């Protein structure tokens, strides 16, 4: 065989092996859409700003939505798919919101850049912008994710953190996703914005003989517990919510960590963090330095939104509509 032909065939084999190799977060780049859809970040930011200005609950909803997406099947927008037996139908996901923000951004982007930008990237950008909108840091997130084709309710519970988890259980779940104890503490700081249903922390109270709510979790500050009992009384409905951060509920800041040290963590899983020496040291550090928290947030958010990404055509697709896999 001619030497030139032999060299060409070798090159083809090398390129072929590269194209079928498994994808990873290293395939992502902040400039992924620089030539194909250069204004994508502006489109998403404007959409988030519009919705958040009209509804102050949107930023917290978007942040929770991306977390529930990435922890199950990786960051592939599988949580957005509607239908029987999908992730959205699991009880842990029934209270999720912010779907309309992602769909609105997608519709705009499909007009301007049809078939280019994934719903997975739009969701990550929307959550990123939600943090900035409420006063948090602007994170330069890498892009290039494909949308997943699989969405199963049965995959949710084994991968998501329950509010009743101990520190050890939370750390184990995070570790299985390549996240550390520091990532756990930092990302829990996302609870500085958003709302939580009374049912999410009802296990911290019980009814006495008179039917009144009384705290059984002694780690809660008394006045804080009293306020929660008033808001989540026996007359409260299943959709009654309270702010995760009782001090600065609409501001992305480091107040969450001060709350934990003062016995004002809303969820049991929040309060559990101070029981771990390493976690408590981080909480104390972040409570004293918002800049330190913001720097760590940027790192941990990028790590979380890089979990299980799909970048190859054999792994995922670019959905036309975020709530449905392509036909």
- Binding site members for Ca(2+): 69, 72, 74, 76, 78, 87, 192, 245, 248, 253
Q: Cα–Cα distance between 200 and 217 in angstroms, integer?
A: 14
Q: Which residues contact 40 (CB under 8 A, 6 or more apart)?
A: 33, 109, 113, 116, 117, 121, 125, 143
Q: How many CB atoms lie within 10 A of CB 184?
A: 23
Annotated active-site residue 2? The verdict is: no
Answer yes or no: are the C-beta atoms of 287 and 261 closer than 8 Å. Answer: yes
Element at 47 (helix H, strand E)? helix 40-54
Report the DSSP pairing between strands 195-197 and 241-243.
antiparallel
Burial class (CB within 10 angstroms; exposed 0-12, middle 13-18, buried 19+) of 223: exposed
Is residue 208 helix, strand or coil? coil
Report the DSSP pairing between strands 195-197 and 205-207.
unpaired
Q: Cα–Cα distance between 251 and 281 in angstroms, integer?
A: 23
Helices 119-133 and 40-54, packing angle to 10 deg: 50
Answer yes or no: are the C-beta atoms of 124 and 75 closer than 8 Å. Answer: yes
Q: Cα–Cα distance between 133 and 128 in angstroms, integer?
A: 9
**Annotated catalytic residue within 68, 145, 204, 310:** 68
Q: What residues are annotated to the active site?
A: 68
């Amino acid at each position: 065989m001619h030497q030139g032909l032999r060299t060409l065939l070798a090159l083809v084999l090398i390129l072929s092996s590269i194209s079928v190799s498994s994808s990873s977060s290293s395939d992502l780049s902040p400039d992924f859409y620089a030539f194909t859809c250069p204004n994508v970040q502006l489109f998403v930011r404007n959409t988030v700003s519009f919705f958040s200005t009209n509804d102050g609950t949107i930023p917290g909803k978007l942040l929770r939505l991306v977390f529930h997406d990435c922890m199950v099947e990786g960051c592939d927008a599988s949580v957005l798919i509607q239908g029987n037996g999908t992730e959205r139908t699991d009880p842990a996901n029934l209270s999720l919101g912010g779907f309309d923000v992602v769909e609105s951004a997608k519709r705009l982007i499909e007009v301007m850049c049809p078939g280019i930008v994934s719903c997975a990237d739009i969701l990550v950008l929307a959550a990123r912008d939600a943090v900035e909108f409420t006063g948090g840091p602007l994170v330069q997130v890498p892009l290039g994710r494909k949308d997943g084709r699989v969405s199963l309710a049965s995959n949710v519970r084994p991968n998501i953190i329950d509010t009743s988890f101990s520190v050890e259980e939370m750390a184990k779940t995070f570790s299985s996703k390549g996240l550390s104890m520091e990532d756990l503490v930092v990302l829990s700081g996302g609870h500085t914005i958003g709302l939580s249903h009374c049912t999410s922390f009802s296990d911290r109270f019980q009814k006495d003989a008179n039917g009144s709510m009384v705290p059984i979790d002694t780690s809660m500050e008394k006045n804080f517990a009293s306020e929660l009992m008033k808001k989540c009384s026996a007359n409260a409905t299943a959709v009654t919510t309270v702010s995760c951060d009782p001090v600065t509920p609409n501001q992305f800041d480091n107040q969450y960590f001060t709350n934990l040290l003062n016995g004002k963590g809303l969820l049991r899983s929040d309060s559990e963090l101070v029981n771990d020496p390493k976690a408590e040291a981080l909480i104390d550090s972040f409570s004293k330095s918002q800049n330190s928290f913001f720097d760590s947030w940027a790192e941990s958010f990028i790590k979380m939104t890089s979990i299980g990404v799909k970048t190859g055509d054999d792994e995922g697709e670019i959905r036309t509509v975020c709530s449905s896999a392509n036909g």
